[in-house]
Amino acid sequence: MGATVLSIEAAKGANINLTEGDKGHQALHETIVAYRANRRSGTACTKRRGEVAGSGKKLWKQKGTGNARMGSRRSPIWSGGGIAWGPRPRDYYKKTNRKVRKLAFRAAITSRINDGDVLVIDGFNVADGKTKSFVSAITNLCEANKILLIANLDETTLRSARNVQNVQIVRPQDVTAEHVLNYKKLMITQDALQVVSQRTVTE
């Protein structure tokens, strides 16, 4: 079980549709921003002056004390008062259409192939299901400290990888542009490479 760097020529031979020049960079930016925005819960909430606890009584008379005029203890300028313009629950969802996401995926794959960060392996399997065996197998293939493994793996191999923090396993049909950009090296099996090539086909 060895790993070879996926070159531009090999990628074209595998029918991976690559982008040229700066094509897809804007789509990639919009897609990554949307992925990250859509993960936000939007539940941050502060209380306004009408929602905090406290009396509405005027603290002192308007004139004659020498103090600045003040109406309520719940004013934002007081400690314990309401928050002016604080965060409120909101929806951060951003929509991107399928063609934009597809172009972004192609641009991401092209960038990583150009940088020589995509490694192709025949297959990957850990028969005994042990974490130590998984780490040993991965290290023999690549010594990067952050690896994305794109493959369809059996349950035993997946179990052996559960506690390995620097390796993320994703199926080829589920990998996104954000996955592709977030890791130092990408390792992809031959069968997964065929699925990825199908996902880069333009319509």
- Residues facing 169 on adjacent strands: 149
Would the pLDDT of 203 be above 80? no
Q: Residue 53 — pLDDT band, cuts 50, 70, 90?
A: very high
The tokens 């992925």 sit on which residue? 35
Residue among 103, 177, 139, 142 at smallest CA distance from 5 = 142
Structural domain boundaries of the chain?
Answer: 3-40+93-199, 43-91
E strands, 90-171, in order: 118-121, 147-150, 167-170
Would the pLDDT of 65 be above 90? yes
Q: How far apart are CA 187 and CA 162, in angstroms?
A: 17
Neighbours of 186 (CB within 10 A): 26
Q: Residue 38 — pLDDT band, cuts 50, 70, 90?
A: very high
Instruction: Enumerate the H helices of the chain as residue ranges.
Output: 8-13, 25-38, 98-114, 131-141, 155-160, 177-181, 190-199
Q: How far apart are CA 124 and CA 138, in angstroms?
A: 9
Out of 19-23, 37-41, 98-102, 192-196, which region has the weakest mean confidence (pLDDT)?
19-23
Q: Residue 105 — pLDDT band, cuts 50, 70, 90?
A: very high
Tens digit of each residue's pLDDT (9 = 90 or more) over 21-37: 888 899 999 999 999 99
Q: How far apart are CA 117 and CA 99, in angstroms?
A: 25
Supply the DSSP symbol for 69. Answer: P
Q: What is the CATH number of domain 3-40+93-199?
A: 3.40.1370.10
Mean pLDDT of 43-48: 95
Q: How far apart are CA 10 and CA 100, in angstroms?
A: 25
Mean pLDDT of 79-90: 93
The tokens 């990639």 sit on which residue? 28
Tens digit of each residue's pLDDT (9 = 90 or more) over 142-195: 888 899 999 998 899 999 999 899 999 999 999 999 999 999 999 999 999 999
Give me the pLDDT at residue 123, please: 86
Give me the pLDDT at residue 118, please: 92
